[in-house]
Structure formats: structure tokens, C-alpha cells
Amino acid sequence: VRSVMHKHLEKMGEVTFDKIFNQRLGYLLFKEYCETLYDEPIPHVQFYEEIKKYEKLETVEERRQTAREIYDNFIMKELLSHTHNYSKDVVDHVQKYLMRKEVPVNLFQPYIAEVFNHLRGDLFRMFIESDKYTRFCQWKNLELNIQLTMNDFSVHRIIGRGGFGEVYGCRKADTGKMYAMKCLDKKRIKMKQGETLALNERIMLSLVSTGEDCPFIVCMTYAFQTPDKLCFILDLMNGGDLHYHLSQHGVFSEEEMRFYASEVTLGLEHMHKRYVVYRDLKPANILLDEHGHCRISDLGLACDFSKKKPHASVGTHGYMAPEVLSKGTAYDYSADWFSLGCMLYKLLKG
């Protein structure tokens, strides 16, 4: 199991410190490995845990007391013994706020970045060779093959609506990882005769979400159904869409558009290599993540052209290529490049 799953996880870009550490079980196994490796707890892990506890405190008084304890136990103590392996900038940052008696929630955030830099080095490479990582692979193997239900997720607030249902933020119960859950209402699908569209979206998501991972498409991780809903578990994107940012902040600069255009181009190429034409490229379908990177979303109108070229006139007016608008004319992925040009013009000129 370890060998097979390790190859799969490597191919999917999942064998990185950040990916494993930010999953609940991955974090616990890494912490357990650190505790068994040395008699003394790894100070970086302890430090990280204390910072996360501090960030959950609600009152200023609690944060003030805890901040002082963290500073005394993990920063001042090491400074006095000359074992504090962090940059002067992060020390100065914390000291500046504490001297003013200010304790913002993100007071120790610069330290977390440096803690991660320490942990993702030799310690993480040794973890990958350990039996704890073998357990992680066994768990991932089980996760990929398990039959999921709604009970496996903690569902949060609505983050979007569509023609057939809603999109919710959700957390997977066993890993703690956040996703977007797209729930399509079966009654609404039947009423609007959308069975073909719903099934097509499921197939297209499977096509683009398998094989080598593409960071510029909102991919599907799981899919399941309840008696009244079809549920797709997708990458969570919480930075809004480009249409929203255009309406709120005005047109984009050429530098910004070069950045977004390059990422959208890579996303389209990923689809085209799998003989999928997207057909609905527009600012509202380009979502941003928390780091400002964009992904193509909503594959409801995407189409597989591996066996037969499509000729249906579908998409959003203003972004559709001439061959798509021309009834009965067959086309392929070239239609997406025309739509990309229209979208870039819209974002640059409004």
C-alpha cells in the first residue's frame, strides 16, 4: 500500500510538508513522529501549538497573558541561551507590539512561516521514510476507496447559488480539510430537464481531476449522492471571482492580466490535453484562492470532443466564438481561445 499510494500522492503533488501538515491526521502523525524521534519534544512543534491556541482566544486580556507566556517560554528563554533560531525581524515584530501592550490575533504569524521552514527540512524528509508516513499512506488509500455520505462532512454556510442548487463551505470530519460542496437538487434537475447537464458536469470534473493535478482548475475530490441531492466535493476558493473584483475595484492592470491570463491558459491547456473544450470562459467563472491565484470553475457546459466535435451553440453571449454562434458548425478547443481574448478585453477595458 505504501509504495502504490506514495507514487499516487507524488503524482498528485501531495507529498509536501504543507499538504501533509495542514491535514489533521497528517499533522498528528508528524507530531507523533517528532515525539518518538527525540526524548524532548521538538520546540518548533510546541511553539506552533501554543501560537494556534493563542489565536483562538477571544478576549484581549486572555491574549495579553498568553502572549507574555509564549514570549517568555519560547522567545526570551532562547534569546538568553543563544538558541533562538529565528530572524531578528520576527523578534522585533513581536517585541514592538508587546511594548505597546497590543495583542492582535496575528501577533505571532511571522513566526509560523519560520517554524514551517524549520520543520519542512530534514525533519520532514526523515518523516517520509518512517512508519508514521506508512500509516498516512494507508489512511489515504482508505480515504480514496471509501463510500462517502453527508455524515462525513460538517456543512457550513452557503457560499454560492446555481440553477440546480447551492454551494456550501464544508469540512471533512476525519481530516479537518476544508472543501466546497456543490449540492444539486434532484427535483430541480428533473423539473428543468437538466439530467444531461448534471451528468455531463460529473463526467467532465472526473476527466480534468484525474491524472496529473492542475492547480488552475477547480477540481473534484469526491462525489456522492443522497436520496434528494447530487453532491460534488470541490476545491474551496474563497477569494471571490474576477467579475466581482471588476465590479468592485474597476479594470485590471496589464501586469495583473498577464498573471491571470497565464494561469487560465495553463488551466485550458490541461483541459484540451484531455480533449475537453470548456465553452463558458468569462470573468464570473474564474475564482481566486486565498493566495490570489485563479482557477477555472463550473464545467457544466464543458464537452468531450475526443470522438466527435460539438456543434451546439452554448455559452455566454459576448464571449462566444463565431463558430459557436454559427448553428450547425463543428468546432473544437479553438473556441476557448476566442473566449479568452474576449474575457481579457472585458477585464482590461470594462
CA 10, 12, 15: angle at the middle one, nearest 5?
Answer: 40
CA distance 188 to 102: 52
Is there a contact between 280 and 318 (Cβ–Cβ < 8 Å)? no
CA-to-CA separations, 192 to 165, 183, 185, 205, 338, in angstroms, rounded: 12, 16, 11, 21, 30
CA distance 48 to 120: 13
**346 three-state secondary structure:** helix
Instruction: At 154, give phi and psi (nearest 5°).
Output: -100, 115
Residues with catalytic function: 280
Is there a contact between 340 and 281 (Cβ–Cβ < 8 Å)? yes
182 annotated binding-site participant: yes
Burial track 209-221 (b if 16+ CB lie within 10 A, e otherwise): beeeebebbbbbb
CA-to-CA separations, 348 to 127, 254, 344, in angstroms, rounded: 47, 7, 6
Q: Residue positions in the annotated binding site for ATP?
A: 182
Residue ranges for the known binding site are 182
